[in-house]
Amino acid sequence: MLGDAAHRMPPYAGEGVNMAMQDAFELADCLTDPAYPDTDTAIAAFEKQMCNRAAEITQITLAYTAMLHSDDPINKLIALFNGLEENQE
């Protein structure tokens, strides 16, 4: 399983398609890596990478979900975007 089928998470961070593309890249990388002696070993390595990455992204998505369902989501979103803008300068 790849992408949305493998990752149950709310859509609020828009990470579903990003994770699907990263899954495909990492799976292809593992399947073609000569360090893995067989397909089962390559898939196991991919699944470990995927689970670690998904756990981190899931926490971010859950934080966005909580923010969007809070008492003042508009101002919290504005503050978030302002903070992102400041970090890029």
Nearest-5° Cα angle at 61, 57 to 63: 120
Q: Contact 29/36 with Cβ under 8 angstroms?
A: no
Residue 14 pLDDT > 80, yes or no?
no
pLDDT tens by residue, 46-86? 999 998 988 888 888 888 888 889 999 999 889 888 887 66
Enter the pTM of the model.
0.68
Q: Kindly report the average pLDDT of the chain as a whole number.
A: 85
Which SS3 state, helix, strand or coil, does residue 15 take?
A: coil
The reported pLDDT for the residue numbered 86 is 65
